[in-house]
Structure 1
């Protein structure tokens, strides 16, 4: 039979996390309703970030190129995340680590060259 008392700290942690998340999300909304801060009127609902109304419907889809540039950024950002620990331990690991990282960087360079050739980095 499984001793379920081992899971009690995890259950308590989840309960505290749920209580705090509800408190930080729901409680300010309730306080705002009770104190009168939630009284929308036309001037309060106008644009406040850029100062003028939007040109188009805000639910328009983004161009695919935006997502492609974002994915390329993530790929090369992860490359840096792999290179830092390698650079710290390369002298301890030896030639195998150096050769494997050069293969990794060559693959990324080929991917960058392909994206550049296809025109994925061009923005109009």
Structure 2
């Protein structure tokens, strides 16, 4: 390190962070000062795809929707793990196969649990 103390090594990083913060704040302030601000009633209304609001957006959804959404995310993660495993299948050997079988078994237990709780209906 050449006799330098550790805090001096971080000085360029701190300077960079300081410049970034100052630039961001200055940009926001300059934009607020320069842009026109003429709010009117239609401009202040919430915008949702051009459709007028007809009811409150905070309604209760059945828990089933959340469980299906979680299952969707879980099976997306499963695909993220299975594709690289399938590409390297021959080099992983029996241990790789055993690990993937355990992984799929855990997911199947979760799927079975969701089905038994009534969150999934395959009829």
| TM-score calculated relative to the size of structure 2 | 0.69
> What's the offset of the Cα at 1:116?
2.0
Q: Which structure exhibits the higher relative contact order, with contacts defined as CA atoms closer than 8 Å and separated by 6 or more residues?
A: 2
Matched residues, number:
116
Considering only CA atoms, is the larger Rg found in Structure 1 or Structure 2?
2
- Three-state SS of the structure 2 residue aligned to 1:43 is helix
Structure 1 spans left out of the alignment, 5+ residues = none
Match of 1:80 in 2: 79
Match of 1:4 in 2: 7
> What's the offset of the Cα at 1:73?
2.2
Match of 2:118 in 1: 119
Q: 2:21 aligns with which of 18, 21, 46?
A: 18
> What's the offset of the Cα at 1:66?
3.5
Structure 2 spans left out of the alignment, 5+ residues = none
2:64 and 2:16 mapped to 1: Cα distance?
A: 42
2:64 and 2:5 mapped to 1: Cα distance?
A: 53
What value does the CA root-mean-square deviation take over the aligned residues?
Answer: 2.9
Residues 67, 114 of structure 2: 8 Å contact kept: no
Q: 5 Å matches for 1:94-105? A: 94-105=93-104
Residues 64, 119 of structure 2: 8 Å contact kept: yes
From the superposition, tell whether residues 67 and 10 of structure 1 become closer, same or farther in structure 2 (CA, over 3 Å): farther
